[in-house]
A and B are shown apart, each in its own frame.
Chain A
């Protein structure tokens, strides 16, 4: 009974905000923060109290082959916690940040719709339903990218919207072909029927889905929209886009469809390995040369997505563990880095690394947290990024692919180099900056400090004891498609 709330709470609050918030934004802030907090509490409760257990909810009481089911298993639980955490912190960050742009309720209503779409994608067990929720999330994302109202933002949003519409058309063809072959839209039902059909159907649909969802995840041949959209959006939205939006309709759906529905076919796993390695290397090479701070971070998103794909493509328990763990970690430290970029933009009015300098004196919180995040993303030991990258590299060696392990290590070194550049020019430069244009609000500081603590704390997810609750059930869900089918269909 708890599952529909993940969709109902943000959807309801989006429309309530539109109805009751007058000209000022105080009601909108209150409502959206209350909604996001309750979502975080609910998702943590579901993960902690019902670990390993699969919850099914039939919408309107219709059984799976006929109706739409909502499914909550270990992977869903982890993703819901991630989305709720990042969205709550982004909302807290927005309270101070968005007032520099305007004081309208529209931002918060769109933000809640974005959460609705993402929660829906995560929780639904029906392929077409997933498509609809994905469109809800993307619509609000297009509008939010253009929120600042400058020419570049409209340009980025238009590019993003064209790419989004194209990928949605490709995905819809895939869904149509799959429906005509299997006569069902429930993912578990498709997984049950598909092995009896001609394998060519799976390869056709897999190709369409790889292109469609790969475009949403910005894997390297489909990445062109990402640096523009992620660097032009307001900072909390960049954090949402890079932190969770490329993962939910992108990586999460790829995992669910290719692992659970198609049963990890070898051809696609090899494709993931190739795409992942290419993304790691090209993404990081493109990032090193950037001087715009947010653009540099955006290119790193492409490279880090490559690590997740690499782990998925290995399809060994350790590889998938690394992929899921890196997915969580990347959301935490990349959101923090985008908050830092937003804070610097508010304080100095620039994102150009050449025009920054020594900020340790005037922006102590920002420069300290950015150091934590930079160390995390480069993979320096006590922080979370080190553990997930280490697991991925060990998994690649164990799977007999030392070349991929080498690529991942080289990518990590180049990441370190580009973040040393960011720290050297951006935060600890030679030129002493004395005056700031605007002070950084308490909301921004809180969000940054909480995420910096999360960077350290999420290292513990992989410790024995906690790992059995959080990550191991996810790996077993992804590796054993028959259990997913049985949980949803078997009654």
Chain B
């Protein structure tokens, strides 16, 4: 249970950063932290304490195993997050070139 609470705290750290920070880079980092928390959630759901890795070998007695599917999902989701982060950083570079500032409050030509 303590693991889940810690994991949720990590997610909240990300949300806090997203809501309060004004720096473009810190916003991207907050999103990344949120992503890590979600991935940890997924891995935790598949975890069984004391279980073996889910590969059946000849001769070994089949015991409790961890669920391999969330791990596969996490791999996919890590790749997606890599893509998101790369895209966000690329956009942030262009934003800084155009607006000459990292402050999100000064980047507001669109309104209404």
Contacts and interface: CB of A to CB of B under 8 A. Distances in A.
Interface stretch (A3-11, A75-83, A138-146, A306-314): A138-146
Interface in B1-56: 11, 14, 18, 24, 27, 31, 34-35, 38, 41-42, 45
B110 A152 contact: yes
B52 to A, nearest CB: 19
Contacts of A152: 109-110
Contact of B83 (A139, A156, A231, A232): A139
Interface in B68-104: 69-70, 73, 76-77, 80, 83-84, 87-88, 91-92, 94-95, 98-99
Contacts, number: 93
A162 B91 CA distance: 11
A435 interface: no
Nearest to A159: B110
**What bracket does the count of chain B residues touching chain A fall in?**
20 to 34
A161 B88 contact: yes
Interface in A122-166: 128, 132, 135, 139, 142-143, 146, 150-152, 154-158, 161-162, 164-166
B63 interface: no
B42 A166 contact: no
Contact of A154 (B80, B91, B112): B91
Contacts of B27: 162
B112 A227 contact: yes
Given A139-B83, A155-B109, A162-B88, A172 B31 contact: no
Interface in A180-224: 180, 185
A162 B27 CA distance: 8
Contact of A228 (B91, B92, B110): B110
Interface of B: 11, 14, 18, 24, 27, 31, 34-35, 38, 41-42, 45, 69-70, 73, 76-77, 80, 83-84, 87-88, 91-92, 94-95, 98-99, 107-110, 112
Given A135-B80, A158-B95, 15 more contacts: A135-B84, A142-B91, A146-B91, A154-B98, A155-B108, A155-B109, A158-B92, A165-B84, A165-B88, A166-B18, A169-B31, A176-B73, A179-B45, A228-B110, A290-B112
